[in-house]
Amino acid sequence: MEQFTIHLTIGPRSKATFRLTYEEVLKRRLTQYNIDIKVKPKQLVHNFEIDVDIFEPQGISKLDAQASFLPKELASQLIKKSFSGKKGHVLFRPTVGQQQSCPTCSTSLMNGDFKVTYDVNRDKLCDLLVANNHFAHFFAPQNLTNLNKNLVFVIDISTSMEGQKVKQTKEALLKILGDMRPGDYFDLVLFGSEVQSWRGSLVPASAANVRAAQDFVRHFHLAGATNLNGGLLRGIEILNQAHGSIPELSNHASVLIMLTDGEPTEGVTDRSQILKNVRNAIGGRFPLYNLGFGHNVDWNFLEVMSMENNGRAQRIYEDHDATQQLQGFYDQVANPLLVDVELLYPQDTVSALTQHRHKQYYEGSEIMVAGRIADHKSSSFKADVLARGEGQEFKATCLVDEEEMKKLLQERGHVLENHVERLWAYLTIQELLAKRMKLEGKEKATATAKALQMSLAYQFVTPLTSMTIRGMTDEDGLEPIIDKPPEDSLPLEMLGHRKTFMLSALHPSPTQSSSNIQQLPNRVTGVDTDPHFLIHVPQKEDTLCFNIDEEPGVVLSLVQDPDTGFSVNGQLIGNKARSPGQHEGTYFGRLGIANPATDFHLEVTPQNITLNPGLGGPVFSWGDQASLRQHEVVVTINRKRNLVVSVEDGGTFEVVLHRVWKGSAIHQDFLGFYVLDSHRMSARTHGLLGQFFHPFDFEVSDPHPGSDPTKTDATMVVKSRQLTVTRGLQKDYSKDPRHGAEVTCWFVHNNGAGLIDGVHTDYIVPDIF
C-alpha cells in the first residue's frame, strides 16, 4: 500500500477541498479485482459519498461491494450496486444519522474498509487491447485442470517468533495443510539456530500424512537464532532430490514458501552470499515466495531473493488477522494451472516488451504483458501463448481485430487510448525499479536513469520522483512536494522550509536533519554573487564575510571531508563582456558535489543538473520538478528556484539558481551555494566553507570610523591573528533567490587573509570532481 500524508492548518470556519486523482493497476487475485477504499473520517460528515463507475471492454461478469464497518443488514440497505454489459456502478451515500455509532452519539461508526470486487467475462482465452501504437495483453484462461504441486514450507522458529506470531503461523499452517489435495506432495522445514525437517523428503498429501504433519506443527517449539540460509538450502534440496529421484514429480508444479520475522543471524549471514547460494541451488527450476512477518525483516533482501527466483515477497503485518493474511497468500498459489508460460508476439512489429515469461500461472490470477507496436498496416494483431499444463502442452493464439478496437475507442475515447500506453509505461517502470535492486555500478545507474526518465515523462510517483500538490502555493508561488517512501521506511513528520505546509514524508525532507524537526536556520553559511562568502558564527550570533578574487575558470574547494570523501567544488565564470578598466566580476557557474562512498556525483550548472555524469546519468533542466534518491543521498529540484542535497549522516546543502535578463550583453546566469546543516560532518572537514563548520572564536574591539566614513572599522582577533575588519552588508539568497535578505557582517579584507587557513590559492583544485 502506498502512503502519502499532508497536514494543513485551516483557519476557523474556513473550508478546504482536497481532490486526489490517481491511477492504480488492479491485479486479479482469487478470481476477482479488488478496489479498496480506506474510510476513516473521524467525524460525522454531512455530504459523504463513495461513487464508483467501472468500465471493462470484456464486459462485467460479477460485482459486489462491502463495508467492514457496517452491520450486514445496514450495508445491504445503504450500498447500491448494479452492472450491465461493460458498465458497473456502486454508490454509498449514508446520511449523518446512518453514520452515527448510536442514535444519540456524535461519534461515527465509519472506520474501516469499503471494498468493491468484480470480475470480467472470460468468454475468450485472452484479451488484447491495441491503441496509440501500444498493446496490452491480459491472459487468464478458464476451465483448465489443476496441476498437482510439490510444496515445501520453510518456517522460521527463532525465539523472536514467540507469542502471537508463532501462534498465528501454526493456525495458518494447520488450515493450509488441511486444504492440500491428495495428488500433492509436501514437506516442512524449520530453522532456528539449527535446521530440521519433518520428513526430509517429499511425501504424498494423504489423509494420514496430513494429520501427522499437523501434529508436528502443533508441537514444535521455538529455539535459537535465525539460520535462514541453512533453512532455505534444506528446502531447496528436498525439491531438487524429488525431481531427480521420482520422475512423475517432475511434471508437478514445485513451489517453495519461506516465512521469517527477522534477519539472518546464524550460519551464513552475508546477504550477497545467501542470494548467490539460493540462486545457484534453485537454478530457475521453481519459484521462491518469501513472507516477511512484521517490520524487523530486511524487506529489500527478501524481495530481491524472490525476484531472482521467479517469485515475489509479501509482508505479513502483525495484527489480529495475520492468520488470514497467511492463508490468503497461500490461496493465491494453491492451484497452479500452467508452468513455463511464454507469451510471443510478432518480432517485426513489437518492441519494448514487459515481462512475458512466467514460471507458473495460478487459478484466479492474470498475466499482463504490454509493449510498443511499430506502425503497421495489418488489420489485426495476434499473440501466441506456449505453456505446459496437466499432462500436455498448452498452445493458444489470441487475436484482436482492428474494427473491434475502433468500436471500443469510439465508445470510451481517449481514456482507453491513453490507458494502454500508460499501462505499458507503468509496468516497464516497475520492472526497471525491481531490476535496479539487484544491479550495481553502471548497470544500476542506467536502469535508474531510464526509470527516472519514464517516471517524469508519464508523471508517475515512484521512489525516484515526488508528488506535487496542485492548487496550493506558498508566498513564492511554489507548490508543495510529497515524496513516495521506500517500502522499509517508517513515518517521520517534519516541517518543510515552505512556510505554509507541513509535510509527512517517509524519508528525511531534503531540508531537514533526520533526527531533528526544525525550520531552516535564520542565518546560514554560504557563498553567492561575486563570490561573497558568508560565515555565520552561532556562538557569537554574528556573521563574518570575505570575497575571493580569482580568474574565470578557476575551481575552488568549498567543502572537503577527508573522513568520508564528501566534497563540494565550484568553478568560477566571468561576465560576458566588460568595459576597459571595469572590475572583472566572477561567479560560480559550475558546482560538483560528490559522495564517493555511494558513487554519487552531481554536476550543477545554471542550465542543467546531471546525476553521475561520468556514467551517462540522467540530465535535468531547472524547469523540472523532481526528487532523486541514490543510496544515502536525496536531491530535490525545486523548479526554477533551487536544489537541495541531503546526505544521510552528513550535511544538507542548497544550490540557488540566479537568472539574469536574457538580453543582457554583460551578465550571465550563475549559482549560489549554502550550507543548511553541517553538524554531522567530521571535525577534519576543510575547504573555504568547510573549515568553519565547527565552533571557533573571535573577538571584535575598538570600533571606529574607517576610510569610508559611512562604514565602521574594528580590530578582530581570530585564530591568534589580529585583523582590521569593516562592518558591511551582504545578501543571503538561501530563502529568497530573487530578492535575498540583507545580512550585517564583519568583512575580512584581502581574500579572507588571516581568517581562512593558509592563503586562498591553497584552495584551488584541478576540477570539480
| Domain locations along the chain | 27-121, 149-334, 338-458, 494-765
Query: What was the pLDDT predicted at 709?
Result: 77
Which helix H or strand E contains 450, and what residues bound it?
A: helix 441-458
Query: What was the pLDDT predicted at 6?
Result: 60
Mean pLDDT on 45-65? 93
* Cell triple for 254: 514445485
Backbone phi and psi for residue 271, each to the nearest 5 degrees, phi listed first: -65, -40
Query: What was the pLDDT predicted at 4?
Result: 59
Q: Cα separation of 425 and 458, whole Å? A: 7
Helix 164-178 to helix 207-219 angle (10° resolution) is 180
Distances (CA, A) of 348 to 344, 370, 374, 423: 12, 16, 8, 22
Query: What was the pLDDT predicted at 417?
Result: 66
Q: Cα separation of 209 and 222, whole Å? A: 23
Q: Among 225-229, 608-612, 664-668, name the one with the lowest average pLDDT.
A: 664-668
pLDDT tens digits, one per residue of 79-88: 999 999 999 9
Decide: residue 53, CB within 10 A, 0-12 exposed, 13-18 middle, 19+ buried. Answer: exposed
Query: What was the pLDDT predicted at 520?
Result: 43
Nearest to 634 by CA among 510, 482, 454: 510
The highest-confidence range among 209-223, 526-540, 565-579, by mean pLDDT, is 209-223
Proportion of the chain above pLDDT 70, given as a percent: 88
Q: CA angle, 629 as apex, 626 and 631 as ends, to 5°?
A: 175
3-state secondary structure 383-404: EEEEEEECCEEEEEEEEEEHHH
Q: Cα separation of 413 and 57, whole Å? A: 12
* Cell triple for 293: 512477518
What is the DSSP track for 591-659? EEEEEGGGTEEEEE-SSEEEESGGGT--EEETT--EEEEETTEEEEEETTTEEEEEETTS-EEEEEEE-
Mean pLDDT on 509-518? 33
Query: What was the pLDDT predicted at 332?
Result: 93
* Cell triple for 442: 553502471
Are the beta carbons of 99 and 106 closer than 8 angstroms?
no
Nearest to 500 by CA among 6, 9, 5: 9
Q: Is 341 helix (H, G, I), strand (E, B) or coil?
A: strand
What is the DSSP track for 371-385? EEE-----SEEEEEE
Q: Which amino acid is residue 365, in one-letter code? A: S
CA-based radius of gyration for the chain: 32
pLDDT tens digits, one per residue of 269-320: 999 999 999 999 999 999 999 999 987 888 889 999 999 999 999 999 887 7
- CATH fold for domain 149-334: Rossmann fold (3.40.50)
Burial profile 217-252: b = 16 or more Cβ within 10 angstroms, e = fewer: beebebeebbbbbbbbbbbbbbbbebbeeeeebeeb
Query: What was the pLDDT predicted at 431?
Result: 93
pLDDT category at 626 given cuts 50, 70, 90 is confident
Distances (CA, A) of 352 to 366, 370, 371, 380, 552: 20, 8, 5, 20, 46
* Cell triple for 235: 528446502
Q: Is 151 helix (H, G, I), strand (E, B) or coil?
A: strand
Q: Cα separation of 427 and 138, whole Å? A: 13
Mean pLDDT on 472-500? 40
* Cell triple for 81: 450496486
Q: Among 369-383, 440-454, 542-556, 582-596, name the one with the lowest average pLDDT.
A: 369-383
**Is it the case that residue 413 has pLDDT exceeding 60?**
no
Query: What was the pLDDT predicted at 380?
Result: 79
Query: What was the pLDDT predicted at 383?
Result: 93
The half-sphere exposure of 330 on its side-chain side, counting CA atoms within 13 A, is 23
Count other Cβ atoms within 10 Å, centred on residue 574: 16
Q: Among 148-162, 614-628, 724-738, name the one with the lowest average pLDDT.
A: 614-628
Mean pLDDT value across the chain: 86
Q: Cα separation of 53 and 57, whole Å? A: 13
Q: 305 — alpha (psi -120 to 50), left (phi > 0) or beta?
A: alpha
Q: Cα separation of 231 and 378, whole Å? A: 54
Proportion of the chain above pLDDT 90, given as a percent: 57
**Is it the case that residue 558 has pLDDT exceeding 60?**
yes
pLDDT category at 412 given cuts 50, 70, 90 is low
* Cell triple for 58: 470484456
Distances (CA, A) of 291 to 43, 153, 191, 338, 368: 36, 11, 15, 23, 23
Cell 545507474, residue located? 445
Are the beta carbons of 458 and 425 closer than 8 angstroms?
yes
Give the CA dihedral 196, 200, 205, 210, nearest 10 degrees: -30
Are the beta carbons of 154 and 189 closer than 8 angstroms?
yes
**Is it the case that residue 761 has pLDDT exceeding 60?**
yes
pLDDT category at 497 given cuts 50, 70, 90 is very low
pLDDT tens digits, one per residue of 62-79: 999 999 999 989 999 999
Query: What was the pLDDT predicted at 241?
Result: 94
Are the beta carbons of 185 and 309 closer than 8 angstroms?
no
Backbone phi and psi for residue 400, each to the nearest 5 degrees, phi listed first: -130, 135
Q: Cα separation of 282 and 278, whole Å? A: 6
Query: What was the pLDDT predicted at 662?
Result: 65
Q: Which amino acid is residue 47, in one-letter code? A: N
Q: Cα separation of 152 and 150, whole Å? A: 7
Q: CA angle, 483 as apex, 480 and 484 as ends, to 5°?
A: 145
Cell 550535511, residue located? 651
Largest CA distance in the chain: 104
Query: What was the pLDDT predicted at 591?
Result: 97
* Cell triple for 505: 514524508
Backbone phi and psi for residue 176, each to the nearest 5 degrees, phi listed first: -65, -45
Percent of the chain as helix, strand, coil, to the nearest 5: 20, 35, 40
**Is it the case that residue 503 has pLDDT exceeding 50?**
no
